[in-house]
């Protein structure tokens, strides 16, 4: 058997449609704590959509245009919602020991996604173009210099920071979240501690 056939058979089993898009879920999934991940994804969709609109125009547009300021406010508050729900999701899954039963990689991908999200948001705050972002840039530059990593990223270079924020980091984040979601679908949602996997479905 050649490797392509083996890979195809493995993917057809591990990533079957009934796992990726299940029609039924265990009854415990109806709990609110299992909705934090979905709320995080929903917020992320709004962040990406509003960010694409802002990037398609230009940074000056959302500084001088009323509509641009409105779109920027949507982008800002959706980021707040994204981090709020992601933090709840992370804490909830931590106390549920969601790495149980072979789900360790799923947990690791989620934690890495959280870290990349923080860096992405940081570059976004530096791209606001107001006094607040300029003050943060100067303070961050001092911190980067003190840590000895200023050679990796010039915080005072607006083009470099903006490019990372709208292209490099979002692509990495979307990829990581995609891997995390596929891993969740592949292994299934983690049951509450002490609850058998084989439960009633909803």
Query: Could you read off the pLDDT of 86-144 as tens digits, one per residue?
Result: 999 999 999 888 888 888 888 899 999 999 999 999 999 888 877 888 888 888 888 87
Q: What is the pLDDT of residues 22-43, one digit of tens each?
A: 667 777 777 888 889 999 999 9
Token couple for 78: 């959706």
CA separation for the pair 193, 51 (Å, rounded): 39
Q: At what angle do helices 131-147 and 104-126 cross, to 10 degrees?
A: 120
Q: What is the pLDDT of residues 59-76, one digit of tens each?
A: 888 888 899 999 999 999
Residues 174-194: what's their mean pLDDT? 86
Higher pLDDT, residue 55 or 8: 55
- The reported pLDDT for the residue numbered 63 is 82
- The reported pLDDT for the residue numbered 198 is 45
Instruction: Provide the residue ranges of all domains of the chain, joining segments of one domain with +.
Output: 31-96, 97-188
Phi/psi at 201 (5° precision): -105, 160
Phi/psi at 145 (5° precision): -60, -45
**Across-strand partners of 201?**
26
Q: Is the pLDDT of residue 47 over 60?
A: yes
């Amino acid at each position: 058997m050649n490797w392509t056939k083996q890979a195809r058979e493995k993917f057809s089993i591990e990533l079957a449609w009934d796992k990726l898009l299940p029609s039924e879920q265990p009854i415990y999934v109806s709990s609110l704590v299992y909705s934090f991940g979905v709320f995080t994804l929903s917020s992320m969709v709004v962040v990406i959509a509003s960010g694409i609109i802002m990037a398609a125009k230009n940074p000056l547009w959302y500084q001088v245009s009323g509509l641009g300021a409105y779109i920027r406010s949507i982008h800002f508050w959706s980021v707040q919602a994204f981090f709020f729900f992601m933090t709840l999701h992370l804490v909830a899954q931590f106390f549920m020991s969601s790495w149980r039963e072979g789900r360790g990689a799923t947990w690791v991908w989620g934690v890495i996604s959280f870290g990349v999200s923080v860096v992405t948001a940081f570059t976004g705050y530096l791209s606001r173009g107001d006094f607040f972002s300029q003050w943060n840039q100067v303070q961050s530059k001092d911190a980067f210099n003190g840590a000895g990593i200023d050679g990796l990223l010039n915080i005072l270079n607006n083009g470099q920071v903006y490019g990372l924020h709208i292209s490099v980091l979002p692509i990495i984040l979307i990829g990581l979240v995609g891997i995390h979601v596929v891993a969740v679908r592949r292994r299934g949602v983690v049951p509450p501690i002490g609850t058998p996997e084989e439960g009633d479905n909803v």
